[in-house]
Amino acid sequence: MSDYKELIIRRLQDRIDAGAMSAAAVRIEQRGEVLLDWAGGTYEFDKSSPAIDTESIFLIASITKPMVTSCFALLIEQGLVDADDTVAKYVPEFAAHGKGKVTLRNCLTHTSGLPDMVPGDVDFRKQNAPMSDFVAAACNARLLFEPGTQVRYQSAGILMLAEIAERITGKSIREQLTELVFKPSGMDSSHLGWRSDFEGRRVDAKVSDADYSSHWNHNSDYWKDFGAPWGGAHTNTADIARLLQVMLNGGVSAAGERVFEPGTVRTLLTDNTSAEPKLSTESRLQESWGLGWRLQRDGGAGWYGSAVPTRAFGHGGATGTLTWADPASGVVFVVLTNGLLDAEGSTLKACGNIAASALCG
């Protein structure tokens, strides 16, 4: 085994041994060739629980977001919506409290001014509330800043995109993701929310001790099936790699099926934030977003690690997940764990740096 692979596995195994996570899986591909496909640890933090494998399913949290925005981009591709339409055009009640000028592009690029989570988010989860309650709260929310002037990460904007997609098509966002993105991309182990065949294959997400037996945490039946468009997808490393490979292939799956038109892929992966005329200098220097895909910035450690090229795109998730792809070298990197990104982000970036240093020169 190559040295870089051993280093990555050792990094992850050390964190498993330390109890920071019970499981980790990593997959690295280059131009379609699988270079590393490894999984270690157990499904639960109880060491006596079964060992995971490379087919094991993880809750990927916010890596869900670019899946949803890519699906939404197909509505733009089909001419059903325009990225510069207002949200209120499709959801009139959203215009409350001065939000009438927020555009779909603002929601796609985190420049909407919406809060990250809707007001009352935790209470809704504790009540096992339906998605409609979250949408109503987003419609009643107040902006934190004028749209297009700052970049501030917002799950609420992704929620509204999903609501618009459902109102336009009459199909749930999970149906659309399955039909338009997952199936044509060959992502047979991916679903927004829960699927019965995931039973016995899902890795427990790490939650705080106080919430572990709760009826609303990430491992609850409620949350598993809820299918939050901002963070509720379940999948494995191979399927995420398939989606990134579709992007690298200009919208075509490994099986040769066209999923996106080339122009749609370019729009998804082009810096859309810098085109905002009112964007603050601070945001312009620190943030770079395609449509839902986070782009690696020039200088500094970047979102994915200092060795990852500035042309890379990807996303991370709070449940301890990170993925990126580099168009020039054709490298796809996926690491899924059940640690927490706030605590384990440096480990995941370090693994990405090792891969990038070896393969993206």
**Cα gap 168→267, rounded to integer Å:** 21
Please provide residue 238's backbone torsions phi and psi, each rounded to the nearest 5 degrees: -65, -40
Q: Is-contact 292 314, C-beta < 8 A?
A: no
351/329 same-domain check: yes
Q: Which domain holds residue 40?
A: 3-64+173-359
239/250 same-domain check: yes
Cα–Cα distances (Å) from 320 to 85, 103, 338, in that order, read 34, 31, 6
**Cα gap 274→272, rounded to integer Å:** 6
pLDDT of residue 337: 99
DSSP state letters, 82-136 = -TTSBGGGT-GGGGGGGTTT-BHHHHHHT-S---SSPTTHHHHHHTT--HHHHHH
138/263 same-domain check: no
**Cα gap 200→50, rounded to integer Å:** 9
pLDDT of residue 210: 59
Q: Which residue has the tokens 């809060």?
A: 115
**Cα gap 347→345, rounded to integer Å:** 5
Q: Is-contact 229 68, C-beta < 8 A?
A: yes
Q: How many CB atoms lie within 10 A of CB 106?
A: 25
pLDDT tens digits, residue range 300-341?
Answer: 557 899 999 998 999 999 999 999 999 999 999 999 999 999
228/93 same-domain check: no
82/45 same-domain check: no
- CA 273 and chain centroid, separation: 18
Query: Structure tokens of 344?
Result: 């384990």
Q: Which of 115, 141, 169 is the last residue of a domain?
A: 169
Helix (H), strand (E) counts: the chain = 13, 9
Q: How many CB atoms lie within 10 A of CB 281?
A: 7
232/340 same-domain check: yes
229/247 same-domain check: yes
How many domains does the chain contain in total? 2
Non-local (6+) Cβ contacts of 9 within 8 A are: 26, 38, 40
Q: Which residue has the tokens 């993701």?
A: 177
Q: Which of 126, 150, 169 is the last residue of a domain?
A: 169
| Torsion angle, alpha carbons of 22, 190, 124, 206, to 10 | 0
pLDDT of residue 213: 57
- Ranges of the chain whose pLDDT falls below 50: none
Q: Which residue has the tokens 């007001």?
A: 119
153/209 same-domain check: no
**Cα gap 266→262, rounded to integer Å:** 6
Q: Is-contact 167 81, C-beta < 8 A?
A: no
Query: Structure tokens of 126?
Result: 């504790």
71/59 same-domain check: no
Cα–Cα distances (Å) from 101 to 16, 108, 114, 194, in that order, read 47, 14, 12, 35
pLDDT of residue 47: 87
189/321 same-domain check: yes
What's 133's domain CATH number?
1.20.58
Consecutive H or E run containing 262: helix 262-269
**Cα gap 37→93, rounded to integer Å:** 47
Q: Cα Rg for the chain, rounded, in angstroms? A: 19
**Cα gap 152→159, rounded to integer Å:** 15
123/231 same-domain check: no
156/196 same-domain check: no
Q: Which of 103, 134, 169 is the last residue of a domain?
A: 169
Most distant pair of Cα atoms in the chain: their distance: 58
What's 185's domain CATH number?
3.40.710.10
Q: Phi-psi category of 295—alpha, beta or left, where left has phi over 0 and alpha has psi -120 to 50?
A: beta
pLDDT of residue 287: 86
pLDDT of residue 212: 52
Identify the CA nearest to 74 among candidates 231, 193, 185: 185
Q: Name the residue type at position 246.
A: V
pLDDT of residue 211: 58
Three-class secondary structure of residue 253 per DSSP: coil
